[in-house]
Amino acid sequence: MSYVGPDFDPPQPRRPRRRLLTVALAALVPGALLGWLVYEAVGGSDGGPDSPVGASSASGGLFTPAESPDESPTDDDKKPSPSATPSLTGPTSSAPAATGPLKGKVVVIDPGHNPNNFQHTADINRKVNIGTGWKECDTTGTSTNSGYTEAKFTLDVAHRLRTLLEKQGATVKLTQDGDRTFGPCIDERASIGNKADADAVVSIHADGAGAGQRGFHVILPGKVKAGSADTGPIVASSAELGERIAGNFVRVTGSAPSNYVGDGTGLVTRKDLGGLNLSTVPKVFIECGNMRDTKDAAQLTSGAWRQKAAQGISEGIVSFLRG
């Protein structure tokens, strides 16, 4: 999410510290502890704002020679043919239905932004209603200092996550697959999950904070009842989804929760995000790391790490759906 604008304003009040225990317990396994030790050995902290790529620029991380990114193309990086009129239900995989513990479950993956947004600034700047007010349709997202874009990152992780979930038997839909001229707008992204009657929706992002601000965080919907927004029925289930994703993300990736929002819990509650406000099904956002920090950027641009990120998110979703 990584930008100041339509769907990412300054962080709202932090979650109660009681959620720290949930994430910490999920992380207390040897692999995660090793990740924490490595993080503490190399981490740092200093702040800075985030801003959109293609507007006033935004996040990224500068690579050192030892941290050269793995950006070799894979099947997941290949773009499908553009389409200006996709179905509101969102693209879905053509893979045959599988059997498994998630058979009968529907998961919607929302890859943040769109690789083509920067070519359609007038369209993405159009305001849409999010219940509590009006925000731009979408933004360009952020990028690392070397130019690896958030839109490319989110699609790659979404493809990997879709493959993992389909192997568990889930029906998986994407809100966009690089197959649109821009967007979809934030209200339409929520609508896609709602119309699919999804059992879980996860919006994938990477942040654009200042260098030294590291780690991931999961954004949960706050209780909102205004206009067309009514999150009351999904607040508790979304919080459970977010906690399970955060705990598994720590365990699988070894990444620490954000050192700049969330009070060390890796969980943040927001009431200003259209994608959450307008959802009628359990939904969370995950900021997988900060593209503007050197060390986080080295992870985000690594194909091996992106696979771990997808695995951590997948295991959190599976844990949530299996109860």
215: alpha, beta or left, given left = phi > 0 and alpha = psi -120 to 50?
left
**Could you give the C-alpha distances from 172 to 56, 134, 291, in angstroms and in order?**
35, 30, 27
**Domain membership flag for residue 80:** no
Catalytic residue among 150, 166, 243, 287: 287
Q: Phi and psi of 284, rounded to 5°?
A: -140, 160
CA dist., res. 116 & res. 56, Å (int) = 17
pLDDT tens digit at each of 323 positions of the chain: 443 333 444 444 444 444 444 444 444 434 443 344 333 443 433 333 333 333 222 333 222 223 333 443 343 444 433 333 334 444 544 455 568 999 999 999 999 999 999 999 999 999 999 999 999 999 999 999 999 999 999 999 999 999 999 999 999 999 999 999 999 999 999 999 999 999 999 999 999 999 999 999 999 999 999 999 999 999 999 999 999 999 999 999 999 999 999 999 999 999 999 999 999 999 999 999 999 999 999 999 999 999 999 999 999 999 999 98
**Domain membership flag for residue 39:** yes
**Domain membership flag for residue 70:** no
pLDDT at 175: 98
Q: Phi and psi of 279, rounded to 5°?
A: -80, 140
Q: Beta-carbon neighbour count of residue 159 at 10 Å?
A: 23
Whether 287 is catalytic: yes
CA dist., res. 39 & res. 52, Å (int) = 27
pLDDT at 288: 98
**Domain membership flag for residue 88:** no
**Domain membership flag for residue 270:** yes
Q: What's the CATH number where 127 sits?
A: 3.40.630.40
**Domain membership flag for residue 69:** no
**Domain membership flag for residue 126:** yes
Q: Beta-carbon neighbour count of residue 132 at 10 Å?
A: 18
Q: How many domains are contained in the chain?
A: 1
Strands 225-226 and 229-230, bridge-based pairing: antiparallel
**Domain membership flag for residue 214:** yes
In this structure, are residues 250 and 309 in contact, taking their beta carbons and an 8 Å threshold? no
Which residues lie closer than 8 Å to 86 by C-beta, 6 or more apart?
Answer: 176, 179, 180, 184
Look up the domain containing 58 and give its range.
18-62+99-322
- The pTM of the full predicted model, rounded to 2 decimals, is 0.75
